[in-house]
Amino acid sequence: MCRKLFTNTKSDQSSSAKNSSNGDVNLNIITRQEHTISRAHISDNALKVLYRLHNHGYDAFLVGGGVRDLLLDKEPKDFDIATNATPEQIKQLFRNCRLIGRRFRLAHIMFGREIIEVATFRGHHQEPEKNQSAQSKEGMLLRDNVYGTVEEDAERRDFTINAMYYNIADFSIHDYANGVKDLKAGVIRMIGDPETRYREDPVRMIRAIRFAAKLDMKIEPNTAAPIKELAHLMTGVPAARLFEESLKLLQSGQGWATYQLLREFDLFSSLFPTVAQYFTPEQNSDVEQMVEIALKSTDKRINEAKRINPAFMFAAFLWYPLQKRAQELAVERKLSQYDAIMMASNDILDDQVRHLAIPRRHSATVRDIWQLQLRLTRRTGKRAFQLLELNKFRAGFDMLEMRGKVEQGQTEALALWWQEFQDAPSVHRQNMVQALGTQKPTGRRRKRPNAKKKSTKPKAQE
Ligand code: ATP
Ligand code: MG
């Protein structure tokens, strides 16, 4: 992979002899004339913050993904700033500033909906008596609120391509870990010893995957080597953090590629153990087919700049595990299909939330989408018209359509019926419903011989 990031290669050559694999960093400065980052591509608010810090005598750098993505000619997701000003000093400069974070205090400068994150350079954490850091037995960092120099800050970052600093004082790039070289070569390389760095923070393993998929880069062999063996450390990561990470991984436009890499590195099961239970060597179980369809469709929507609902992905991933759990419960406890699904919904969501904390507002939508799968089979009388009015109808229908691709047969026919019903003028809709009235009940009931004894009407909300 060859990328044209620079107007000449002088700095590249000067940096090529240095290597940061021992954890040391070597500064390589790329002057304004030698790189392609222009202030026109940096958000006005980020520039305001950089300039104000600089004008008050502080060092101020744009850092991390902002620099990396600008060099790749991509639009950065956010702009992060690093400085030698302490959070309190930052707060004095900005009225619109909030200090946040327990693990490490950060300043958020608020500009309407845009938030510019400003972090004071972080220091080392190996000397417990000198600072207040702490590590767990596995080597995981529990606290790291220690300020340091810019060099130390660079060493603490994860990958070389994330440790480039754009200096507002002279518009140069300070490249501490040969990130420029790796960016050109398309390489994700950990700064320092990969195993130690993964033990400090296991989320770095899924970050390696995320950047490899997002930037279409290769993970450098030493950086990739320890991941499978350390994948189990993911269980120590708080479930709330994993929820946030899962969205960044799977809902950023490269979800399908990311999922495949996560599987390859045995990391997917730490996020979705219930889903991973149904993985097959051929990768074609109904669960796997649904994951593939859901991720490809999410990627497509994101790349078309359409809105996506995070709950939809969870509903789709867990739909077949839910069916299997419901079937077990129906047999074990002699429950109706409806009751079994309701009980299985609780089980499946409880299991999932223990690993990856889906917030309640999303899990409520997941349940709505699942319930709609039952309700969409009942279309006679006014029901079809009422269902169409529901808030979550679209999500429920989209999921039915995906199920149609997996299950085919009657599910596919039902999805087609609903598609036609939505597209049809109202007279035709009436005809469609009337035509159902003259038909035998749908295959859904025929599929449930054990429910015959019960009333034909499930305890749905109708
Ligand atoms: P993007 O925002 O495009 O997803 P990013 O690289 O900006 O990518 P952020 O999560 O915004 O990622 O983090 C900003 C920077 O903070 C990173 O570029 C990296 O330098 C540093 N960083 C973030 N998370 C970690 C971590 N777990 N360990 C070490 N450094 C990290
Ligand atoms: Mg970022």
Helix (H) or strand (E) segment spanning residue 114: strand 114-120
Which residues have C-beta under 5 Å from ligand 2, the single-atom ion? 65, 78
CB atoms within 10 A of CB 127: 10
- Ligand 1, atom 12, lies closest to the CA of 65
Q: How far is the CA of 203 from the centre of ligand 2 (A)?
A: 15
Choice from 71, 80, 153 to test ligand 1 binding pocket (greatest atom count within 8 A of CB)? 80
Rg (CA), the chain: 26
Instruction: State the pLDDT at residue 105.
Output: 86
Q: How far is the CA of 75 from the centre of ligand 2 (A)?
A: 11
What CA–CA distance (Å, rounded) separates 123 from 88?
A: 17
Instruction: State the pLDDT at residue 17.
Output: 36
The answer to whether 146 and 124 have CB atoms below 8 angstroms apart is yes
| pLDDT above 90 (res 132) | no
Query: How close are the terminal C-alpha atoms of the chain, in Å?
Result: 58
Question: Which ligand sits closest to the CA of 159?
Answer: 1
pLDDT in tens, 407-436: 999 999 999 999 999 999 988 999 999 998
Instruction: State the pLDDT at residue 19.
Output: 37
Instruction: State the pLDDT at residue 283.
Output: 94
Q: How far is the CA of 164 from the centre of ligand 2 (A)?
A: 13
The tokens describing 90, both together, are 């930052």
Residue 435 makes CB contacts below 8 A (sequence gap 6+) with none
Instruction: State the pLDDT at residue 44.
Output: 96
Instruction: State the pLDDT at residue 332.
Output: 94
Q: How far is the CA of 206 from the centre of ligand 2 (A)?
A: 15
How far from chain centre, in Å, is Cα 193?
Answer: 25
Instruction: State the pLDDT at residue 131.
Output: 44
Instruction: State the pLDDT at residue 458.
Output: 43
The closest of 119, 107, 116 to 83, measured between CA atoms, is 119
The answer to whether 298 and 258 have CB atoms below 8 angstroms apart is no
pLDDT in tens, 338-389: 899 999 999 999 999 999 999 999 999 999 999 999 999 999 888 999 999 9
**What does the DSSP 8-state code read for residue 252?**
S
pLDDT in tens, 199-233: 999 999 999 999 999 999 999 999 999 999 999 99
Instruction: State the pLDDT at residue 130.
Output: 44
What CA–CA distance (Å, rounded) separates 364 from 13?
A: 56
pLDDT in tens, 2-44: 445 655 444 444 443 333 343 457 899 999 999 999 999 999 9
| pLDDT above 60 (res 126) | no
The answer to whether 39 and 167 have CB atoms below 8 angstroms apart is no
β-partners of residue 35 are 6
User: Binning pLDDT at 50, 70 and 90, where does residue 140 land?
Assistant: low
> Which residue has better confidence, 168 or 144?
168
What CA–CA distance (Å, rounded) separates 54 from 168?
A: 7
Question: Which ligand sits closest to the CA of 69?
Answer: 1
Instruction: Work out the mean pLDDT of the chain and round it to a whole number.
Output: 88
Residue percentage of the chain with pLDDT more than 70: 85
- Ligand 1, atom 22, lies closest to the CA of 157
DSSP SS3 for 356 = coil
pLDDT in tens, 272-315: 999 999 999 999 999 999 999 999 999 999 999 999 999 999 99
Residues with CB under 6 A from ligand 1: 64-65, 77-78, 80, 157-158, 162-163, 201, 203-204, 207, 248
Q: Mean pLDDT throughout 99-117?
A: 91
Catalytic residues: 78, 80, 158
What CA–CA distance (Å, rounded) separates 260 from 248?
A: 15
Instruction: State the pLDDT at residue 453.
Output: 45
User: 17-26, 37-46, 96-105, 160-169 — which is least confidently predicted?
Assistant: 17-26
The closest of 121, 207, 201, 125 to 160, measured between CA atoms, is 207
Q: Mean pLDDT throughout 149-164?
A: 96
Residue percentage of the chain with pLDDT more than 90: 80
